[in-house]
Structure 1
């Protein structure tokens, strides 16, 4: 059965553990430039950082045609490689007009997930990718897509993030919280001149006292600080256990630390005001 006329182009050939801002910008610009030349896009990508690339593209692609990311958990030499069928399903998804205007999609293991909410949940399982807070957008059965919902947040053409003239992104790092945590990583990022810091906090984005004090000082000095959580599900809520307005912090909502970092990078291309950044986190 003919599904689509496929044309391939290699943008980069790296392990996704080596993904970087330059590749993200190249991909977004490439899709935006080629939007009128094709009916849809399929991007093959390693699974390690696929969720971050998916969210970056979800925020920066200005094309309403289907953009689908796909990968594999098993090597092509394995007895039951998942890559070929994942790729087939990705092409099916990109060729389906119902996939348009849903943001950037991730297709793995017969499941369609949205770029904002998808995350890798298992190091080896073929069913590793899940939207842990909201569930998948749909499922693929025998070459047909059964969509269950649409993304709740604004994406692609409905975002203000224009990367067409950007050659680099603001520098944002992540610090991890734990019992008796050191504040040295946070101090190192501030001393290195990072534009923003995301805290992977405990519970509802809480921080060990010394880390809290260091990040409060950083925020006072103009560094954007976002509170997220190392907990895999749920939201980091604003002004709950931490007075975000008082300290100039931003709450990440349901974005995990790695996703919050992506949004903060783009938010900082628009503003450095923590209240305005919080509004951005509330919308995207």
Structure 2
């Protein structure tokens, strides 16, 4: 018996066509049209479509991601699907996939996909990616794998995948560990399983969290602005393995004195925050002040984890525990 897969569409390039006046891509394709454009989709699963939104992925927000997470859990609890595919714009696809991976209650397969070429462009990649994602979500081996990301026949863990090129269709990569598996001919083949991690199910979230990237000679004024703006949390995307210039360190510690949680990540595309150095501004020099180390999370994913975690607690020790379990 074929599995029932619900395709939830949110918008993005996969649902866009070129505007004849401007020549640029704009939202133009409904969820039903997306599914109808995929040859042979019904051979692999019984598919129904729910249109959540039809917006560019840059218009997505933590609040919308929270609503999407609740929708998937609601449909799962109602027993209306064996798995889910979420179509999404690629600019923030990895953020939404990560948010879902951190917040969903369901253990049913959830696979996020998108496209780099619009629906009206030559060799549009949307239909193939949707087909591969549906096949992945319908596969028994995908259950319990967490949220997956599937494009160009590769399957990635939501926690680790990132967009690596602005326009190339073969853009998504796990820069640390590689893909979990692949859509290979008529099979879904996995080479490994992702590491388990804790999930968070807060009743509310705290989206007022800033992400600030560090640069050489940074004086910390923008960090000071965060404190004046009344933010509820800050992620500092540090240099190297998690270091910042000394004046920036001063303002980061001032945030901590205000009781504002601060998470330290690295702007380097792969690797992790490490306590390698002890000079002023190093990760080691700040950890004793309660700075939370973000591990191998990117700055934007660490921000979303903090958005979720602050929905449960603003106690710094508890926040540290949450990040350490990642």
Partner of 1:162: 201
Which of 227, 247, 259 is matched with 1:190 structurally? 227
Contact 1:56/1:262, CA 8 A, preserved across alignment:
yes
Which of 144, 148, 153 is matched with 1:101 structurally? 144
Partner of 1:134: 177
- In the alignment, is residue 118 of structure 1 matched against residue 161 of structure 2? yes
- In the alignment, is residue 88 of structure 1 matched against residue 125 of structure 2? no
Q: CA deviation at 1:235?
A: 0.4
Task: Name whichever of 11-20 and 178-187 sits farther off.
Answer: 178-187
Q: How many residues align?
A: 278
- In the alignment, is residue 245 of structure 1 matched against residue 287 of structure 2? yes
Q: CA deviation at 1:263?
A: 1.0
Partner of 2:300: 258
Contact 1:238/1:244, CA 8 A, preserved across alignment:
no
Partner of 1:283: 325
Q: TM-score, with normalisation over the residues of structure 2?
A: 0.82
Partner of 2:314: 272
Contact 1:40/1:66, CA 8 A, preserved across alignment:
yes
Partner of 1:235: 272
Q: Structure 2: 5+ residue runs without aligned partners?
A: 1-39
Partner of 1:210: 247
Contact 2:206/2:232, CA 8 A, preserved across alignment:
no
Secondary structure class of the residue paired with 2:105? coil
Q: CA deviation at 1:266?
A: 1.5
Deviations 1:216-275 (A, max 9, x none): 110121100011111001000257542343221011110010011011112222332333
CA distance in 2, matches of 1:153, 1:127: 27
Secondary structure class of the residue paired with 2:156? strand
Q: CA deviation at 1:46?
A: 0.1
CA distance in 1, matches of 2:55, 2:226: 26
Which of 253, 256, 267 is matched with 1:219 structurally? 256
Contact 1:174/1:261, CA 8 A, preserved across alignment:
yes
Structural RMSD (CA) = 1.5
Contact 1:133/1:254, CA 8 A, preserved across alignment:
no
Partner of 2:53: 12
Q: CA deviation at 1:184?
A: 2.5
Partner of 2:15: none
CA distance in 2, matches of 1:190, 1:217: 8
Q: Report which of the two has the higher share of strand.
A: 2
Task: Name whichever of 111-120 and 174-183 sits farther off.
Answer: 174-183
CA distance in 1, matches of 2:275, 2:308: 20
Q: Structure 1: 5+ residue runs without aligned partners?
A: none
CA distance in 2, matches of 1:205, 1:254: 10
- 1:32/1:239 CA distance change after superposition, 3 Å: farther
CA distance in 2, matches of 1:136, 1:6: 26
Q: TM-score, with normalisation over the residues of structure 1?
A: 0.93
CA distance in 2, matches of 1:122, 1:114: 18
CA distance in 1, matches of 2:298, 2:178: 15
Q: CA deviation at 1:190?
A: 1.4
Q: CA deviation at 1:278?
A: 2.0
State the structure with more CA Rg. 2
Contact 1:174/1:199, CA 8 A, preserved across alignment:
yes
